[in-house]
Amino acid sequence: MAAERSFSDSFIDEDPQKALEALNEALQEGCDNVEWLCQRAYAQILLKNYSNAVDDAKKAQQLNPSLPLAFMRTGCVEENSGSVCDYLMIQIKLALCKAVKETTMVSSLS
């Protein structure tokens, strides 16, 4: 099943083009898997396809606004494409996202 597939960073590092093709195939099966979108963004970053990478990362953010990995991938795109101000804003958003998640976890324990 497609939902059982896994795409680790090391798999992507080994052969970004091959990983991109596998992720494209998995995502074409009609699944909006946010982790896969983030991993495809990572493959796109390694291949220097920054526009496609940011599209995937932003889609992942829209689907799951509390997923830090989506913000991290967007930050990586901004860092690699040279937009330092945008990169810093992404890092701030990531920190806020983590803080909200931790606050939610603590308040659920009360």
DSSP one-letter string for the chain: -GGG----HHHHHH-HHHHHHHHHHHHHTS---HHHHHHHHHHHHHTT-HHHHHHHHHHHHHH-TT-HHHHHHHHHHHHHHT-HHHHHHHHHHHHHHHHHHHHHHHHHH-
Measured distance CA(5)–CA(110) in Å, rounded: 36
How many structural domains does the chain have? 1
Q: Which residues contact 94 (CB under 8 A, 6 or more apart)?
A: 68, 71, 72, 75
| pLDDT, tens digit (0-9, with 9 covering 90-100), for 31-69 | 789 999 999 999 998 898 888 998 898 899 889 888 888
82 conformational bin, left if phi > 0, alpha if psi -120 to 50, beta if neither: left
Q: What pTM value is reported for the model?
A: 0.68
At residue 14, the pLDDT reads 95
At residue 16, the pLDDT reads 95
At residue 1, the pLDDT reads 41
Domain that holds residue 68: 2-109
Q: The CATH number of the domain where 36 resides is what?
A: 1.25.40.10
Q: What's the whole-number mean pLDDT along residues 81-96? A: 63
Question: Which residue, among 67, 73, 104, has the nearest Cα to 90 in the 3D structure?
Answer: 73
| pLDDT, tens digit (0-9, with 9 covering 90-100), for 6-41 | 899 899 999 999 999 999 999 998 678 999 999 999
